[in-house]
Structure 1
Amino acid sequence: MAEKNYKIALFGLGYIGLPTAALFAKNGFKLIGVDINQKIVDSINSGCSPILEPGLAKLVKDGVTKKLLSASTDGIEAAEESNVMIIVVPTPIDENNCSDLTAVISACETVSHGLKRGDLVIIESTVPPYTCERTVIPILEQSGLKASVDFGVAYTPERALPNNTLYEMTHNARVIGGLNEESAEKAAFLYGKITQGKIITVENLVTAEMVKLMENTYRDTNISLANELAMVCESLGIDAIEAIKAANFHPRVNILSPGPGVGGHCLSVDPYFIIEMAEKQGIEARLIKTARDINNHMPHHVAQMVENSLDEIGKSTLHSNIGILGVAYKGNTADTRETPAKPLINDLISQGAEVLVHDPYVSPEVIINMGAKPVKIEEALNCDCTVLITDHDQYCDLTPAMIKSHIFICTRPILDPERFKNEGIIFKGVGRPYVPNYSLLDSNDFEDKRIILDGAEKP
């Protein structure tokens, strides 16, 4: 085994596929990336990365300059010229929250037309358990070749976080499952060339498929616990962020931060793959379902916070202008996949509000397609109510003097509430109920040192 013996065709040049391709090229492998989007292909062949990710632009430029990295829309030709095919295409869910394997099936069909004896096919796309055995291999065998006899199959899930993708790909552990021992060994050799992390070989394909789903389901469930605790704390007048921080000093407790909902292609999608397969086996994945329901509810909870807050100052969502800070699902990225900002915007528009959005990374076209108006940050901060959704670094520098809105709702724990309340700003957040600074209130604002908040008397 040596780099010179391999030529790789990688299908799917998205947030994970392109960094993977660039890393293989960096480590001396000749790789051709395949994508159905001609603009992406043209951009890569010109030495430019179409994806905003720290360090990726240089890797792409270097790979193209050294003639180790190229891109094409012709998947059959790419498969014919290669002896390793890696499939990293999207696997979304449909309207029934079931896996949509259309892209995986299409890529496998393309590969089958160029498959040869001795080839290795690696699936990286997140898929439900038994997808490799029951879907991928039968399609590949339409080539007339026999899996395990004529060609190998391996599965290895990616583990990478946007805005830190290259570091995680080169340092995280890599889980690999193979159809047979030879398939697993070849895949382990290849990925061992691009990561310093541990290579973990599991028993078979389906175990590796399940590992990825377990990881993301764990995180989704943990976040749902934080979100449910946050909503309970809001009702009790408790600062959930402070309580969670204190609880996490327990050596066996690690509650994640609550927020406006879960976005991205992993946490908001992968648990449904387990639910889908469990139901086919006659098992109800109750905890996983409930976690998904809680996290899906959070954007609607934030919309209700907006409505209640406006009502408290004698306004209505109808005809109000609502500023939104950030529509990317994660800070410092342009990634809006499954972003909780979208259902929030939908709720606010359905209630008759005008929604004004600022996001330093997301294009105006994407914002307009969400039904909102792209604006400068000053305009978003000068609305009847402003809601911070995304924890972009820029928003960490907000000061009370910049907030011109009547109400500021901060759904991420990135700002100090007291700093804003001390300046008389109505500052609320997920898990952070509004308790005014009474030293700033005029005596006419309350009677007998009590004030009505959220429909209940608070001392």
Structure 2
Amino acid sequence: MTEEKIRIALFGLGHMGLPTAALFADNGYKVVGIDINSETVSMVNDGKSPIMEPGLDELVENVVKKGLLSADNGISTLVKDSNVMIVVVPTPVDENKCSDLSAVISACESIAKVLNKDDLVIIESTIPPHTCQNIIIPLLEKSGLKASKDFGVAYTPERALPQNTLYEMTHNARVIGGVDQKSAKKAAALYGKITKGEVITVENLVTAEMVKLMENTYRDTNIALANELALVCESLGIDAIHAINAANYHPRVNIHNPGPGVGGHCLSIDPYFIVEMAKEGRYPARLIETAREINEFMPHHVAGLVKESLEACGKRLIDSKVGLLGVAYKGNVADARETPAEPFIRDIIQKGAEVLVHDPFVEENTIKNMGGVSVAFEDALNCDCVVLMTDHDIYRQITPEMIKNSILICTRPILDPAEFKKNGVIFKGVGRP
């Protein structure tokens, strides 16, 4: 497969898939994106990005105008003529915290129908270890072709953050594993065209699968440690933020900030893939599972702080209005997937309160689906209790006089407690007594 003859079909035009497709197109490859969402397909074909991401709208417009990127709902002629198939579809967990691979399976079943000799299939979706070998390759071999002998298979996890996706995709290191050296080499050469970062080839598919899970599990576990330390510090009357900041001066210590929980499609999901597969082996992933339990508890702890603070002022949570600042899982993004704000909202509503939400990035429908009511900034600040959930930059400008009813629960360390307390505001926070 010579470089000038590479034609790419990419399955999944979401937060990672569309930037990936656009970057390959920007490097001169002919790319067709496949997505089940008709609105996404229509917008891409019109040269517009359905995803809020700096620089992506302009990039999509440019490559569509050049005829290098198009989109479709199904297996078109362009897909049949492609010789590199990339799968970047979502892999959530189900109600039992087990991986839901239905989208990956569906994409691979479609690929098997059009797979040709010497094609290369690349999986980017986050998956449990051994998924490529035990599920994906058997599905692809329903084509009548044999992996390694007739076609190649590689796995490379995406590594990028919302609001910085294009930069990270073009500068971060890339980890690649293959069913054989030939597959890994082909994939490495391809991704080397879109990133200035190092392209690291590991020994096989399962190692590459595990790398992505390790990265996000490390971060989730670190946050869980910070959150548990914060809970202990609260009970002992210690400011955990000050203590953590001081501890991090140690050259070999890097404790993350505590907060209201963990969101996003990676950190809150990926550790469960290790837990799931560990149960099939000889050693359970006890620390990883406990870390998930701690981080999932945090939204409910914040709800408890609201209840305690209201009661300290002689109010009841029932029939109170709680103003929630931010539902995105992190600051200055529109992404509310797996946000800790949702279990917080549902907990508070179940206890009889109304939740009025302000978020300048997240759509009103998303807020409504969580159970909140979308309101203006001032209306959220005018509630019986204000909860700062997301560290959007706009909330860094909040001053004591803006908190109309004198109760602020600040779950992110972006405001000075002393400033609010000396102005008569009841200030509570994660790790702040």
Amino acid at match of 1:283: Y
Query: Amino acid of the residue matched to residue 222 of structure 2?
Result: N
Aligned partner of 1:414 in structure 2 is 414
| Other-structure match for 1:373 | 373
Alpha-carbon distance, 1:403 to partner: 1.6
Match in the other structure for 1:238: 238
Once the 2 structures are TM-superposed, how far is the Cα of residue 2 of structure 1 from its aligned partner? 5.2
CA distance in structure 1 between the aligned counterparts of 2:133 and 2:404, rounded to whole angstroms: 58
Q: Find the counterpart in structure 1 of residue 41 from structure 2.
A: 41
Cα deviation for residue 175 of structure 1 reads 0.2
Q: SS at 2:357's partner residue?
A: strand
**1:14-163 matched pairs, under 5 angstroms:** 14-75=14-75, 77-163=77-163
Give per-residue Cα distances to partners, 1:399-430, cap 9 Å, x unaligned.
Answer: 22222133101101111112222221111110
Structure 2 spans left out of the alignment, 5+ residues: none
| 1:251 aligned partner | 251
Deviations 1:61-92 (A, max 9, x none): 11101111111011364431200000000000
CA distance in 2, matches of 1:228, 1:322: 25
* Range that drifts further, 107-116 or 1-10: 1-10
Q: Using the TM superposition, give the Cα deviation of residue 204 of structure 1 relative to its aligned residue in structure 2, in angstroms.
A: 0.1
Give the drift of 1:141: 0.4
Cα deviations by residue, 1:146-203 (Å, 9 ceiling, x for unpaired)? 1101100000000101111111111110000000111001100110000000000000
What residue is the counterpart of 1:283 in the other structure? 283
Aligned residue number for residue 210 of structure 2: 210
CA distance in 2, matches of 1:359, 1:42: 27
Matched-pair contact (CA < 8 Å) for 2:91–2:100:
yes
Report the 3-state secondary structure (helix = DSSP H, G, I; strand = E; otherwise coil) of the residue aligned with 2:271.
Answer: helix
The answer to whether the Cα contact below 8 Å between 1:231 and 1:430 also exists between their aligned partners in 2 is yes
Between stretches 424-433 and 373-382, larger displacement belongs to 424-433
For residues 326-353 of structure 1, what are the alpha-carbon distances to aligned partners after superposition, in whole Å with 9 as ceiling and x for unaligned?
Answer: 0011111111111000000001000000
Contact 1:77/1:114 (<8 A) preserved:
no
Task: Find the aligned partners of 1:412 and 1:28 in 2 and give their Cα distance.
Answer: 43
Tell me which amino acid in the other structure corresponds to 1:119: D
Quick one: distance in 1 between partners of 2:343 and 2:419? 30
Cα distance in 2 for residues equivalent to 1:83 and 1:97 = 35
Question: What secondary structure does 1:113 align onto?
Answer: helix
Q: Which amino acid aligns with 1:281?
A: G
Kept in 2, the 8 Å contact 1:79–1:115? The answer is: no
With 172-181 and 400-409 compared, the bigger mean Cα shift is at: 400-409
CA contact (8 A) 1:34 1:78 kept: no
1:318, 1:352 within 8 Å by CA — same for their partners in 2? yes
The 8 Å contact of residues 54 and 164 in structure 1, kept in 2 or not, is answered as yes
Does structure 2 retain, via aligned residues, the 8 Å contact 1:32–1:78?
yes
Aligned partners of 2:81, 2:391: CA distance in 1, in Å? 44
Q: Is the 8 A contact 2:32 2:79 kept in 1?
A: no
d(CA) in 1 for partners of 2:41, 2:156: 25
Instruction: Tell me which residue corresponds to 1:446.
Output: none
State the one-letter code of the partner of 1:412: R
Alignment of 1:199 onto 2:191: no
Q: Distance in 2 between matches of 1:179 and 1:2?
A: 20
1: CA distance between counterparts of 2:37 and 2:48? Answer: 15
Distance in 2, Cα, partners of 1:146 & 1:70: 30
Q: Quote the Cα distance in structure 2 between the aligned partners of 1:158 and 1:274.
A: 18
- Asked if structure 1 preserves the Cα contact closer than 8 Å seen for 2:112 and 2:142, the reply is yes
Q: Is the 8 Å Cα contact of residues 385 and 406 (structure 1) preserved in structure 2?
A: yes
Q: Report the residue type matching 2:415 in the other structure.
A: L
Counterpart code for 2:53: E
- Answer yes or no: is the 8 Å Cα contact 1:356–1:372 preserved in 2: yes
CA deviations 1:258-279 (Å, max 9, x no partner) are 0000001101000000000000
Q: TM-score, normalised by structure 1?
A: 0.93
Match of 1:346 in 2: 346
* Equivalent AA in structure 1 for residue 341 of structure 2: A
- Point out the more displaced range, 349-358 or 70-79: 70-79
In 2, the alpha carbon distance for the partners of 1:220 and 1:368 equals: 28
Residue 355 of structure 1: SS of its match in structure 2?
A: strand
Q: Which letter maps to 1:317?
A: L
Q: Is 2:26 aligned against 1:13? A: no
Query: What residue ranges of structure 1 are gaps of 5+ in the alignment?
Result: 434-459
Question: Residues 348-367 of structure 1: matches in 2 within 5 Å?
Answer: 348-367=348-367
How many angstroms does 1:282 deviate by?
3.3
**Counterpart in the other structure of 1:456:** none
Deviations 1:187-242 (A, max 9, x none): 00110000000000000000000000000000000000000000111111111111
Give me the whole-angstrom Cα distance separating, in 1, the residues matched to 2:212 and 2:396.
32
The alignment's TM-score, normalised by the length of structure 2, stands at 0.99
CA separation in 2, counterparts of 1:289 and 1:76? Answer: 43
Task: Judge which range, 66-75 or 397-406, deviates more.
Answer: 397-406
Distance of 2:19 and 2:73 partners within structure 1: 18
* Partner amino acid, structure 1, of 2:278: A
Instruction: Give the direction of change, closer, same or farther, for the CA distance of 1:242–1:2 in structure 2 (3 Å limit).
Output: farther
Q: Distance in 1 between matches of 2:131 and 2:243?
A: 42
In 2: Cα distance, 1:115 partner to 1:108 partner: 10
- Corresponding position of 2:315: 315
- Say what the alpha-carbon RMSD is for the aligned residues: 0.9
C-alpha contact (below 8 Å) 2:406/2:424 kept by paired residues? no
Is 1:170 the counterpart of 2:131 in the alignment? no
